[in-house]
Structure 1
Amino acid sequence: MSFKAGFVSIIGRPNVGKSTLMNCLVGEKVSIISSKPQTTRNRIMGIMNGSEYQVVFLDTPGIHKPKHKLGEYMVETAFSSLNDSDLIIYIVEPGSIIGPGDSMITNKLKEILVPLLLCINKIDIADKEQVHLTEELYKSQLPHSEIILISALNYTNIEYLKQRIIEIIPEGPRYFPEDMITDMPEQFIVAELIREKALNLLREEVPHGIAVEIEDFRREDGKNLIHINAILYCEKNSHKSIIIGKEGKMLKKIGEQARYDIERLLGEHVFLELWVKVKKKWRDNDLMLKFLGFNKS
């Protein structure tokens, strides 16, 4: 059998399970997961390796109506990945109606001559009628797509999905080393893990106004220890108080949970220090967005 290799874009509305699916396929946490929508801000590359294949996944931000410049960047990033793809995986939920955001996606997909797998996710928490109605709805909109019913959380039909991905992608060379699971630098993943804990622990109005900068990342010579200093930026003084929490308890909790995942990922002991700074309206500030790595491609 010839070696197969290809690039696969995972797209969909916010909070449909794109990051969960990519982590599930890759076998490691390379993209952050949260119950809150618009968690992924950058195009994250995850790599699924086998002896006869290599699949490079692009987990894109959820497609939504932008409310600020960061939102515009996220939507542009999501759509730009489609042009780099050998296969597109479009994820929807059971019971979805085709609203303005979904119409934007389906209309775009009709224009692109790339193989399309439409995955109806979260079938473990939906009734069969909902799933059937969603299947019929998208069959009529995207008749060229192949529909697969999955639960990324429970691993339902994931092996079959893997098999179809490998069958569809073209023959090609191995693009990355066999032991590589992402092209993202360590510091980027560390910042994303810290942001994930903030997303999961903080109140609804705070998380999407948070960005994380790794100010210092240094390994101590001769010791299995990494020193990390990180700044959490927020947009309001009231948010800063919530992030820090009473007697610093919330910030400490974010740090403890992040440190656990960072140590597990890097296989080294971590000394993690977190600071909180207010940067008003940073999501609409071009210089701040560029500083934090949100550059338009």
Structure 2
Amino acid sequence: MSARNPDAPPVHRAGFACFVGRPNAGKSTLTNALVGQKVAITSNRPQTTRHTVRGIVHRPEAQLILVDTPGYHKPRTLLGERLNDVVRSTWAEVDVIGFCLPANEKLGPGDRFIANELASLKRTPKVAVVTKTDLADPETISRQLLAVDKLAKELGFEWAEIVPVSAAKGDQVGLLADLLIPMLPEGPELYPGGDLTDEPEQVMVAELIREAALEGVRDELPHSIAVVVEEMEPREDRPADRPLVDIHANLFIERPSQKGIIIGPKGARLREIGTKARAQIEALLGTPVFLDIHVKVAKDWQRDPKQLRRLGF
């Protein structure tokens, strides 16, 4: 094999890495930390992510496109089955897979189920990412690293790397990117230099509203919430130095009884959702917004193919 010409331009790599794991394993927080900006919504509720979100990491020598996927789980609804289909189809298309396992939680059947699925992907490099190290002491982290290594060996494969990280603190996040990049194919940039995500703005706005709605809701409600932005337009007749974007969104729940939970006493909870979401949306768009949210019932939408299509699943 011939030595590389020292005068040749440095190799540029570009490709896709996918983060997988059971719900609430820290995938979206890690994606945001690597990109350096919020591109995926987060909450402490499982199954917050409902579609693939691409975050783009730009380096002089590489472009790493991170695909954050829904948590892979045992589905109880048609929506759950469709989310798992999204995850599996993503695995088949990426150059490297990062399997997220929280440092502060023992490996469980859900982790073993996913690892077993990954074992069948013979050609794709797999990196174990032990997340949330800020929530565990060094001894617990060491035990988890050994358990993760043992899990792969029992299933007949090896991790390309095992990396402990804390996305919340930024610990070893840069190192993770350094380890993923050499596993990408050589090639030119796949996205323009300034892009941090390929998410349409309307989808990101809907997700920010859903994130605000997820905060503080009762346990039975999170999966019942869906948001669709019906209209998003700059308001006409505004001076150039005082723009305003009008956003009209529908927040769907599954049962009439859930409406009161979202709206709250005298509309207080809905106002709180609107205030939180508006601050995030204005940061995203870089302009003031008028946000109008209507709460609507879409009966049992998670199990209804027609409703799922209407809500974008």
TM over 0.5: yes
Q: CA deviation at 1:214?
A: 0.8
Q: Residues of 1 paired with 2:14 and 2:253: CA distance?
A: 41
Match of 2:227 among 212, 223, 227: 212
The corresponding residue for 2:7 is none
Q: Does 2:101 match 1:88?
A: no
TM-score using structure 1 length: 0.96
The corresponding residue for 1:193 is 208
Q: CA deviation at 1:162?
A: 1.5
Q: Residues of 2 paired with 1:69 and 1:183: CA distance?
A: 26
Q: CA deviation at 1:9?
A: 0.4
The corresponding residue for 1:239 is 258
Q: Does 2:198 match 1:183?
A: yes
Q: Residues of 2 paired with 1:107 and 1:262: CA distance?
A: 39
Question: Any unmatched runs of 5+ in structure 2?
Answer: 1-9
The corresponding residue for 1:114 is 124
Query: 1:235, 1:279 within 8 Å by CA — same for their partners in 2?
Result: yes
Q: CA deviation at 1:153?
A: 0.6
Q: CA deviation at 1:123?
A: 1.2
Count of residues paired in the alignment: 294
The corresponding residue for 1:263 is 282
Q: CA deviation at 1:45?
A: 1.0
Q: Deviations over 1:239-287 (max 9, x none)?
A: 1001001110100000010000000011011000011011110000101
Q: CA deviation at 1:98?
A: 3.9
Query: 1:122, 1:152 within 8 Å by CA — same for their partners in 2?
Result: yes
Match of 1:125 among 135, 159, 179: 135
Name the aligned partner's letter for residue 126 of structure 1: A
Q: Residues of 1 paired with 2:216 and 2:196: CA distance?
A: 27
The structure having more radius of gyration, on CA atoms, is 2
Q: Residues of 2 paired with 1:76 and 1:226: CA distance?
A: 35
Q: Residues of 1 paired with 2:199 and 2:309: CA distance?
A: 17
Q: Deviations over 1:125-157 (max 9, x none)?
A: 112232222211221222411111111111111
Q: Deviations over 1:142-200 (max 9, x none)?
A: 24111111111111111111111222212112111111111111000000000001111
Identity, % of aligned positions: 41
Q: Residues of 1 paired with 2:13 and 2:225: CA distance?
A: 39
The corresponding residue for 2:150 is 140
Q: Does 2:177 match 1:168?
A: no
The equivalences for 1:49-64 within 5 A come to 49-64=58-73
Q: Residues of 2 paired with 1:129 and 1:65: CA distance?
A: 31
Q: CA deviation at 1:110?
A: 1.1
Query: 2:112, 2:151 within 8 Å by CA — same for their partners in 1?
Result: no
Question: Any unmatched runs of 5+ in structure 1?
Answer: none
Q: Residues of 2 paired with 1:198 and 1:259: CA distance?
A: 12
The corresponding residue for 1:44 is 53
Q: CA deviation at 1:222?
A: 5.9
The range that moved more, 166-175 or 233-242, is 166-175
Query: 1:95, 1:133 within 8 Å by CA — same for their partners in 2?
Result: no
Q: CA deviation at 1:96?
A: 3.9
Q: CA deviation at 1:100?
A: 2.9
